[in-house]
Structure 1
Amino acid sequence: MTFIGTSSLVIALLFCIYALICLVVGIENKNSKLLLSGRGATLSVAFLSIVASLILIYFLITGNYQIKYVYQYTNKDLPIFYKFAAFWAGNAGSLMLWTLLLTIYTAVIAFPLKRVFNKYLAYAVIVLLMINIFFLSVLIFITNPFELLPVKPADGNGLNPLLQNPGMVFHPLTLYLGYVGFTVPFAFAMSALITKKVDDWWIKTTRRWTVWAWLFLSLGNLFGAQWAYVELGWGGYWAWDPVENSSFMPWLTATAFVHSIIIQERKNMLKIWNMFLIIATYLLTIFGTFLTRSGVYASVHSFSDSSLGSVFLSYIILLAALSLGLIFHRLKLLKEQRSFESYISKESSFLFNNLLLVGGAFAVFWGTNFPIISEAIRGVKVTVSVPWYNQVMSPILLGVILLIGICPLIAWHKSSYENFKNNFLIPTILSIIFAVIGYYFIFSKKLYATIGFTISFFALITTIQEFVKGVRVRRKVVNEGYLVSLWRLISKNRRRYGGYIVHIGTILIAVGIIGSNAYKIEKEVRVKLGDEIAINDYTMKYKGLEMTKEGSNQIVFAKLKVKKNGKSIGILKPEKVFYKTWDQPSTEVAIYSTLKEDLYVALAGWINNGKYVDLMIHINPLVIWIWIGGYILIIGSIIALWPGKGAQLNPKYIL
């Protein structure tokens, strides 16, 4: 069956090349038979990728350890849940997943070619096929997932303990759905440049694809942060690791793109800007692949394959040169025919939002690559630390949140004094009152935290105000209850109010980030059996060290009886898990979570058979609001994507 798997990939590559030739010749000669043949070959490529992927999954689950990839990432004791997740645990498998998704997306885009001759669609498929050829070639010639070992081992190495977490299933899969999803709008943008049709057709055609990809990229980042929080044991959720940054950078530019395309749809403006944004987003998704495989960046997520790194770097340079060359070649066609009428308008707020997001992406890009740049220039690798990222990105975050609050309240074209007075007066007064009360009575006179919470409060009030206004208008026209009116308001204007729900989720994420950074408490202690530890409102009594077994794994855990303000809240059991195939144990933290804060405890070590244990204790305020906000953001995206009349762009509204 390994022969069938490898053969499927080789035949898929040949079909891909054949489909590319058919479509190019078919378009030039307007030959519908060639177009249909190319379409059929494109669908076959997806089918063959599915076959190869299913074969690899079968080998992983059944444990054919003569296959090098199966040997490296599974063993007999690994639960089937993680045997399936091992599909994308290493280089070959993760690129197989990328190729699988890419070929399926390409087939979906190519499918309508059967019904109508559309050269714009055909050119988009051609671009997608060229990208397919690259990834299939990498799989076949550089990192074949079906490579065999000379002798079949009795068992495999197993999966890295850090990867044995439910996040291993959901985080990479959603991240790749987002990464690969941005190939589609990129391909249509290139088609628009090739065919000289640079109006908003390609944006309207791919809007759902764009939001779809953005949704999954958002989910991928959210799942990754949750996974890091519960698995790594350091007390945080985002460490500005190079590979974490690699998924955050395209998310920033994609968020700018999602907002910017509205201006092109409504005003036929920002054509060049949108081209640059989608190219930057796609290139950054590939750059993330380069980061994980280059071996030049230290990261817990890295696959460290320098040969693949150089291949992807060459691909990025070639793609950047070709796409940017196309933009400059079509510059006259992309020239703006309209300009901004006022700096105080909805259009301008979108542009300022974009500048902040792109500026944030550049800052993260610079910080990620600065060690390599410094080593090349000065011969010394200078690492950019977490405080630097926080100092740079904090004002950018607050700027984006402030614009979330301002944008719904200002008019298109140009805002008047009356507009400002009617829309801003009440939210501004309420925010000032909130800031004064918060500074003196809630936020411990921490100025930066007060500013952050006040901006978030202002944005939340103005966003909720839009829902209140909409419900009031409906109730004046139709006699409905408040909840019915709210439901129908959202369902009939899904794109607008789905966007507002996304904004609410973003505001809550900001609240969680501000609170967890401004008020976190950390403590490292060595405690004796029977002793109590006091930290903030909590007391923990160490009741002993115990051991249990789960499959072939040995689990050592400390029992901590926890009280808050003298009231018992239960037993926490931070763990160390010892795996048969790994030298180092993994840390499994114990978390007591409330809407106010998380009590986060990690077992660092022990001596004298558990008479003394070393604990890392964190109190992380408001962290749960990051997760709540993240899932509200996802719900809003789904509402905005949901098909039907309410998903269309209403000229009065914004996403």
Structure 2
Amino acid sequence: MVPELGHASLAVALALAVFGALSGIRTARTAAPWWPESARRTALAQLLLVSLAVAALEYCLITSDLSVRYVAMTSISTSPLRYRIAGLWGSLEGSILLWEWLQALFVFLVARRAVALRRELSGYALAVLFVVSGVFLLMMVALANPFERLAAPVAEGRGLNPLLEVTDMLVHPLLLYTGYVGFVVPFAFAMAALLAGRLDGAWLTLTRRWTVTAWLFLSAGIVYGGWWSYRTLGWGGYWAWDPVENASFMPWLMGTAFVHSVMVQERRPMLKIWNLTLVTLTFALTIFGTFLTRSGVVSSVHAFASGAIGPFLLGYLAVILLTALGLLVWRWDRLGERAELDALLSRESAFLVNNVLLVAFCFTVFTGTIFPLLSEAVTGVKVSVGTPYFDWVSVPIVLATFLLMAVGPLIPWRRGSWAVVGRQLRGPATVAVLASLLTWAVGRLSPGLVVLGYTLPYFVAAAVLAEFWRATRGRSRATGVHPGRALLALLRQNHRRYGGLIVHLGVVLVAIGVAASSVGKVEREATLERGQALDLGRYHLTFTGLSATEEATHLVVRAGIDVTDAGRPAGRLEPGQRIYPGSQSPFASVAVRYGLGRDLYLILGAFDREGRWATIKAQIHPMIAWIWLGGAVVVLGGMVVLWPRLRPAPAAAPAAERVAIAGASDARG
């Protein structure tokens, strides 16, 4: 009865999505007060129905209703509760249901504020949102029913993919899906602006927080995915340019370009076509990622395969692109730019170059991702595009982008002075050179590697910190408050600017962590008998024996390794293997000794069942923790950007204080 109730709720929600789209259109075209209210109530009803479907599927998973095909494919009755809950998004049909629940939630949140927004924009935006919601509901009702019954219940389910049976499964997909789905809101308002002919940039203002929120969740999801890969998959890496990893990275690149580009249109009537195109491509790339994951065209730990979903999503993607292109052509005469670049050295020019770089980066990743698919479709021969291609094309773009990250925030709007910018960059450049020399001397790295991997990140970090120093010192002197309080006041008063600079600082930390861990990694593998030791760098690793533990769904075999760090006892690590019934190969359970300067990473290979010997692979990853630290700083900066702006005081501030509040750079924005 519960599965039938869940499926019926999805069917009714699909009908409501159709009615909601009509209500949105009527809201945009008429002044009748009941249409916005009708759309709001429809959105609420749809959210409740989809929530009922989610609750029904979770009930089936938790109670192990093995008469439901989805439960039989993704759950085991003996599995811990947390993994049965995570089974909701552990395979194709359930992940689409989670996607639709987030979509329905966002539709309701927009509909709740529709009365306070511009009527035409909010009406058409709701219509687009309901249509997108209806597409995913149609998929579940007609093509991927999560409540489909088996002809006869099975004795036991298959369970999750063993690689997904980790606690990270409760976090990473939720972050990533929220980022994916969140971009539908700015896309819907962009299409609404084209439909309504309201191309003045109001849609950007209405969706600013939505855009940053979606970008923030997607950023957190990507970083957390790298952390999951590093500590779970047992290969010692965090990013492999996997097609589905690329599928999350591409909308992030396009969304990053959009987040920067909108700031230009908010100040001047420029880059309208750019912004509409960027937000359309960002949303389209989220659907493309869904296609890659759920069509079965790629083999990946992230991928689900199902026959009819792939062509459906590909057709849906084509409709999105053709519709957006048609609307752009229709409104082309009203999208003419009314402003031009006043000078080559200006904030507008920097943002335009930033757009070009990020779009070029996205295009190169897209090309490397789909080339094997196109090649196999045309020639029938499988080819692979590996890490060397992506590294080769990405490094020049990343270096140019870092240069812009250092220089761009210091350039004023409209027209800048080469002399002034040069004076401001003199100090950061000196710091970057000195820091690079120190890195070269201490790390004993090649000069070329130091220049490529460290100098520009140091330059960006020095420029960001110098800007914070100038702004904080100026406000502290003008107001007489402690520098700490002056800094907090700056973050509250101009949170978008300084939050963005914090994000830049986080990206710098990520870049340093990537550079250091990529070139400084060392490893050694050896087969050790009980009592024998392996030396790697400053570590002395002694194998003490094997142990086995029976878990709910698998057997865990662990090797005991006593660790000595520079002659001092440093505890015990237990790398292991998870052995699942019916699986032809075991799954790694790595052991890591984390540190800010380096990680000691141990992997158990082959072993003797009697515990007399084991093959141990040991790796040292220098400064890899800086990647996760940088990701946390990026999230912190995004939260600062989203922090509500303080309302200005009624009384005008003295002129000196107004300059200080602007952070000694108000003219630069």
TM-score grouping bracket, smaller chain normalisation = over 0.9
Contact 1:88 1:172 in 2 (8 A): yes
TM-score, structure 2 length as denominator?
A: 0.94
Offset of 1:445 from its aligned partner?
2.2
Q: Contact conserved, 1:493 with 1:646, CA < 8 A, in 2?
A: no
Counterpart residue number, 1:524: 525
Aligned position for 1:652:
666
The amino acid that maps onto 1:288 is G
Residue type at the aligned position of 2:25:
V
2:564 paired residue number: 563
Q: CA deviation at 1:375?
A: 2.5
- Return the alpha-carbon distance in structure 2 between the equivalents of residues 503 and 273 of structure 1: 23
The corresponding residue for 2:183 is 182
The aligned residue for residue 534 of structure 1 is 535
Q: Distance in 1 between matches of 2:10 and 2:664?
A: 45
Equivalences for 1:468-487 in 2 at 5 Å? 468-487=469-488
Q: Give distance in 1, aligned partners of 2:134 and 2:421.
A: 54
Gap change, CA 1:44 and 1:537, over 3 Å in 2: same
CA distance in 2, matches of 1:598, 1:323: 48
The residue matched to 1:526 in structure 2 has which SS?
Answer: strand
Which AA in structure 2 matches 1:289?
Answer: T
The alpha-carbon distance between structure 1 residues 299 and 146, as it changes in their structure 2 partners (threshold 3 A), is same
Report the CA distance shift for 1:575/1:522 in structure 2 as closer, same or farther (over 3 A). same
**1:294 matches 2:282:** no
Gap change, CA 1:173 and 1:264, over 3 Å in 2: same
Partner of 1:223: 224
Structure 2 residue identity aligned to 1:477: A
Cα displacement (A) at 1:114: 4.9
Following superposition, the deviation at residue 378 of structure 1 comes to 4.0
Q: 1:67 to 1:413 in 2, by over 3 A?
A: same
Give the Cα separation in 1 of the matches to 2:666 and 2:308.
Answer: 52
Contact kept in structure 2, 1:73 and 1:158, CA below 8 Å: yes
- In the other structure, the counterpart of 2:493 is 492
1:15 and 2:13 correspond:
no
Mean CA deviation greater in 613-622 or 408-417: 408-417
Alpha carbons of 1:520 and 1:45: their partners in 2 closer, same or farther (altered >3 Å)?
Answer: same
2:129 corresponds to which residue?
128
Residue 553 of structure 1, CA deviation: 3.0
**Which amino acid letter does the alignment assign opposite residue 192 of structure 2?**
S
Q: Which position in structure 1 is the counterpart of 2:305?
A: 304
Q: What are structure 2's unaligned runs of at least 5 residues?
A: 649-661
Query: Does the 8 Å CA contact 1:574/1:601 hold for their aligned counterparts?
Result: yes
Aligned residue pair count: 655
Work out the CA distance in 2 between the residues paired with 1:366 and 1:344.
32
TM normalised by structure 1 equals 0.96
Give the CA deviation at 1:592: 1.0
Query: Residue 197 of structure 1 corresponds to which residue in structure 2?
Result: 198
Residues 496, 654 of structure 1: 8 Å contact kept: no
Structure 1 residue matching 2:273: 3-state secondary structure:
helix
Cα offset, 1:649, TM superposition: 14
* Structure 1 residue 284 displacement after superposition: 0.3
Is 1:623 the counterpart of 2:624? The answer is yes
> In the alignment, which residue of structure 1 is the partner of 2:90?
89
Letter in 2 for 1:585: P
Whether 2:401 is the aligned partner of 1:387: answer no
% same residue? 37
Pairs within 5 Å for 1:229-628: 229-580=230-581, 582-607=583-608, 609-628=610-629
Give CA-to-partner distance per residue, 1:250-281, whole Å, 9 cap, x none: 00000110000001101221110111100010
CA offsets, 1:40-79, max 9 Å, x none? 2222111111111111111111211111111111112111
More displaced 10-residue stretch of structure 1: 113-122 or 344-353? 113-122
Partner SS state of residue 570, structure 2: strand
Change (3 A) 1:576 1:15: same
Cα displacement (A) at 1:443 = 4.2
CA contact (8 A) 1:221 1:248 kept: yes
Q: CA deviation at 1:394?
A: 2.1
Q: The residue matched to 2:154 in structure 1 has which SS? A: coil
* SS across alignment from 1:603: strand
1:51-90 alignment runs, 5 A limit: 51-90=52-91
* C-alpha distance in 2 between matches for 1:36 and 1:70: 38
Aligned 8 A contact 1:353 1:403 in 2: yes
Of the structure 1 ranges 443-452 and 465-474, higher mean CA displacement relative to structure 2 is found in 443-452
Structure 1 residues 117 and 510, CA, compared in 2 at 3 Å: closer, same or farther?
Answer: closer
Superposed CA RMSD: 2.0
CA 1:614–1:224: 2 relative to 1, 3 Å: same
Distance between the aligned counterparts of 2:148 and 2:259, measured in 1?
41
- Partner letter of residue 215 of structure 1? L
1:22 and 1:37 in contact (8 A); partners too? yes
Question: How far apart, CA to CA, are the structure 1 residues paired with 2:214 and 2:667?
Answer: 22
Distance 1:649 1:76, change over 3 A: farther
**Cα distance between partner residues in 1 of 2:234 and 2:668:** 41
| Counterpart contact for 1:263–1:270, Cα < 8 Å | yes
Deviates more, 1:27-36 or 1:588-597: 27-36
Give the Cα–Cα distance (whole angstroms) in 2 for the partners of residues 409 and 194 of structure 1: 37
